[in-house]
Structure 1
Amino acid sequence: MKVQSYKSGSKTFYSCRFWYYKNGRKKSKYKSGFERKKDAETWGIDTKRKLEGLSAGADEILLEDFLEMWIKSKKKKLSPSSYRGYKNNIKHINEYLGNTPLIKIRTIDIQHMIDSLRDGGLKYNAVKYIYRNLHTAMNYAVKTEMLDKNPCKGVEIAKDDEKFQASIYDAENLRKLIFALREQEHYLYIPVLLASFRGLRRGECLGLRWSDIDFKKGVAYIRKQYIVEEGEKHFRKVKTDDSERVIDMTGFVAEELKLYKEKMKKAGNIQEFVCEKDGKLPDPSHISRALKNFQKANNLPLCRFHDLRHTFAVLQLEHGTDLDTLKRLLGHSKISITSDIYLHQNTTLIRTSSSKMDNIIDWPTKKENSKMSQ
């Protein structure tokens, strides 16, 4: 929208021109003779909204009020952790733009917010999720005819100078960890086994019930996860529909679980969940701390519990598992997620691929090369 002043005699007037889309065609509207700049702007906004059929009152609603309305519409569809994450992201947005009318927010305003968040020390991924939430909310505003277009489009987020690197175990260190836990009969043995040899998330390890395992068929059904948020325990469906999957339950892992179940039975412990400790499920954060303490005590490289799942994925790729199969094993919704996480800068895979290319040609041996140089 363009508002300009002009002189008529000794008085100053204002004109307003704006462009709008109707039935896919770009049109313009112009009016002059306004005595105040604000009147010209109000006419432009109101007329544009009427012509495009946008919701009335959108020019009065503040962004913070709109975001509150939007998050309420999402609440039933979100897990408690996701809802808490959305609320935290909205808090960041409101600090910069909350008091701005929804209709007046421009791409440059959002870009300034994003840049300020990055300059303030927030990591790329954290800012990316804040931006995604705002982008989704603005799409909702367009869908409900409160905006004619999403002002988030075109915003760029500066990348981190140093990317986060997961601590991946190689096969030898994984063997040391597994057998040290087994030898010491540590309660972490079973969840670590499930994470590193079957790729389960921490919550999936804790949510696995004995009734989910069919040893006769040699499969386990990953359906539930167990998490603790703000002191409240939640036992619910896994992260996404793709996370609900069937995994292999044969070989060494199956035999170890059978032995463990028999041992618990002889001790009189009738467990519902595979990873129970002293008759109840441990807090997920306790498992992570216990793993770190065990690694330190046994002179093993430190890694997060979730890094065991990364270890599973990388070792699978290094032993020839294709990306589509790995996507299914991990319960990812998109193959691009699997690719982005596990193919980027994996030197072993890069070297293997290069070696295969080098072996296409029967290169001369060192002895033959020395003869040629003489």
Structure 2
Amino acid sequence: MIAETKFSKIVALWKEDKKQYVKRSTFAAYTLLIENHILPTFGEMALVEEQDVQTFVFRKLNEGLSHKTIKDILIVLKMILRFGAKNQMTEYRQIDIKFPTERDKHSIDILNRSHQKQIMEYIRLHFTFKNLGIYICLSAGMRIGEICALTWDDLDVENGIIHVRKTIQRIYVIEEHRKYTEVILDTPKTKNSIREIPMTKNLLKMIRPIKKIVNGNFYVLTNEPKPTEPRTYRNYYKQFMQSLGLPLMKFHGLRHSFATRCIESKCDYKTVSVLLGHSNISTTLNLYVHPNLEQKKRCMEQMSRLLR
């Protein structure tokens, strides 16, 4: 029989161990979920049972947390429980959690084609380095942290390629007696996020003359040795959209708009997935491939023709 250890003690030991193997940004994300959700509920327990976790899930749903956030919390919780069992601190319990069916379909922010053309045309006529970042996102589908980390050397005009190999993000650091945030320059989200994106002809035309006079080590958005961080750039983007009288849309909507235009252009899904740096094609399919009524009718027509 295993002598049960208080869950908060297992958490502390798991964090000590995990810190050695994961990126700082990943560890910061784990720590935030632990401090805000896991410890307040399970910290004082000696044994975490399936029913405790199921009750926790229903409560978090009622508090308005999304299925995805709750599933992220459960991934961390299960890692800690497996660590505790492996190190003889608690008994291993199979935890099988059920979620109520999601009735609402989550829509994603996308620019319509005329708004996208309006933005791109405006940037061509009103060039600034920060505006160029918005143009690149619409032309290459990059994430905000990736665009903030982009230097002129990452833009290869000889081969017409954008090299995505870094990201900037603000992480929450929770130490024993203090909490603070810190901006870090890191490798991108996953190994698939390290990628090469071909530039469009219009983007290349815009960048080629600039590349002759800029310092390759400087950041694209600032044209200085110091970058801008995502939070600051989001604020700039918000003001930019307001100045054009366009509907407010999250910055990530620029990436969604790029992906949607690719799908609309009949690009194959695997290529779109690689351009976006998704770790698997199912992410791309689930997000962007939703046949419209016209496509469904065409499918039914083709099927019935086969039977004639």
The TM tier, using the shorter chain, reads: 0.7 to 0.9
Q: Which protein is richer in strand relative to its size?
A: 1
Query: Matched residue of 1:242: which SS?
Result: helix
- Separation of aligned partners in 1, 2:137 and 2:21: 28
Query: Map of 1:108-187 to 2, 5 A cutoff?
Result: 108-147=51-90, 149-152=92-95, 154-158=96-100, 162-187=104-129
Q: Secondary structure at the match of 2:191?
A: coil
Q: Which runs of 5+ in 2 are unaligned?
A: 172-179
Greater relative CO (CA pairs within 8 A, separation 6+): 2
Is 1:308 the counterpart of 2:251? The answer is no
Given residue 237 of structure 1, which amino acid in structure 2 is its aligned partner? T
State whether structure 2 residue 138 is matched by structure 1 residue 196: yes
Instruction: Answer yes or no: is 1:284 the counterpart of 2:284.
Output: no
Query: 2:148 is matched with which residue?
Result: 206
Note the aligned Cα RMSD (angstroms).
2.4
The answer for the alignment partner of 1:323 in structure 2 is: 269
Amino acid at match of 2:209: L
1:245 aligns with: 195
Superposition map of 1:9-48 within 5 A: 46=1
Q: Deviations over 1:19-47 (max 9, x none)?
A: xxxxxxxxxxxxxxxxxxxxxxxxxxx2x
CA distance in 1, matches of 2:9, 2:91: 19
Cα deviation, residue 120, structure 1: 2.6
Q: Counterpart in 2 of 1:24?
A: none
> What is the distance in 2 between the residues matched to 1:136 and 1:341?
27
Aligned match of 1:87: 31
* 1:74 maps to amino acid: K
Task: Return 5+ residue gaps in structure 1 as ranges.
Answer: 1-45, 47-57, 363-374
Q: 1:217 aligns with which of 159, 169, 174?
A: 159
Q: Distance in 1 between matches of 2:82 and 2:280?
A: 22
Moved more, 142-151 or 209-218: 142-151
Distance in 2 between residues matched to 1:274 and 1:257, nearest whole Å: 14
Contact 2:138 2:254 in 1 (8 A): yes
| CA distance in 2 between partners of 1:174 and 1:316 (Å) | 13
Does the C-alpha gap of structure 1 residues 147 and 228 become closer, same or farther in structure 2, counting only changes over 3 Å?
Answer: closer
Instruction: Name the structure 2 match of 1:299.
Output: 245
Q: Deviations over 1:244-288 (max 9, x none)?
A: 1121135222221113334xx2xxx53524523262322211211
Rounded Cα–Cα distance in structure 2 between residues aligned with 1:292 and 1:235 = 23
Distance 1:88 1:233, change over 3 A: closer
1:71 is paired with a residue whose SS is helix
2:204 to 244, 251, 254: 254
Cα deviation for residue 309 of structure 1 reads 0.7
* Counterpart contact for 1:223–1:238, Cα < 8 Å: yes
- 2:280: which partner in 1? 334
Paired residues in the alignment total 295
TM superposition score normalised by structure 2: 0.85
CA contact (8 A) 2:166 2:186 kept: yes
- How much does 1:81 deviate? 3.2
Match of 2:8 among 53, 64, 67: 64
For the 8 Å contact 1:124–1:158, the answer to whether it is kept is no
C-alpha change, 1:274 and 1:359, in structure 2 (3 Å) is: farther
Distance in 1 separating the partners of 2:127 and 2:276: 27
SS of the counterpart of 2:163?
strand
Distance apart, 1:351 and its partner CA: 3.0
Q: Which amino acid aligns with 2:232?
A: H
Residue pair 1:181, 1:188 contacting (<8 A) in 2 also:
no
Runs of 4+ in 1 over 6 A off after TM superposition: none
8 Å contact kept, 2:195–2:277: yes
- Answer with 1 or 2: which has the greater Rg: 1
Q: Residues 25-83 of structure 1: CA distance to partner in whole angstroms, max 9, x if unpaired?
A: xxxxxxxxxxxxxxxxxxxxx2xxxxxxxxxxx53311111112112211233333322
Please identify, of 183-192 and 316-325, the stretch whose mean Cα deviation from structure 2 is larger: 183-192
Q: 1:164 to 1:59 in 2, by over 3 A?
A: farther
Q: Distance in 2 between matches of 1:189 and 1:305?
A: 13
Q: Structure 1 length normalisation: TM-score?
A: 0.71
From the superposition, tell whether residues 138 and 336 of structure 1 become closer, same or farther in structure 2 (CA, over 3 Å). farther
